[in-house]
Amino acid sequence: MGHATEEIKRHVKVYVSVFVALAFLTVVTVTVSYLHLPMARAVLVALSIATVKGSLVALFFMHLISERQIIFSVLLLTFVFFGVLLLLPTFSS
């Protein structure tokens, strides 16, 4: 019980760091948008930052960093099909 509480307290410190990183990256992505980069570069920067932010949420808030294999298997299958969905528009032309 005491051990578990210590463990959670360590988690809480990580949550605060993740929050600071997420807030910082939000400010960065908005600031970059005001630079009016060429479209391809703007898409690359915006989606890269969003991917880092999304990964932080999934890894730490959703505890994926310490999750079991079965959850990763479900997610792998999901992302294969998600990838197919996103690539569908390129097959249409």
* Positions that interact with other proteins (CB under 8 A): 1, 4-5, 8-9, 11-12, 15-16, 18-19, 22-23, 26, 29-30, 33, 39, 42-43, 46-47, 49-50, 53-54, 57-58, 60-63, 67-71, 74-75, 77-79, 81-82, 85-86, 88-89, 92
Q: How far is the CB of 80 from other proteins (least distance, A)?
A: 11
* Distance spanning both ends of the chain, measured CA to CA: 60
**CA gap 26, 46 in Å, rounded:** 10
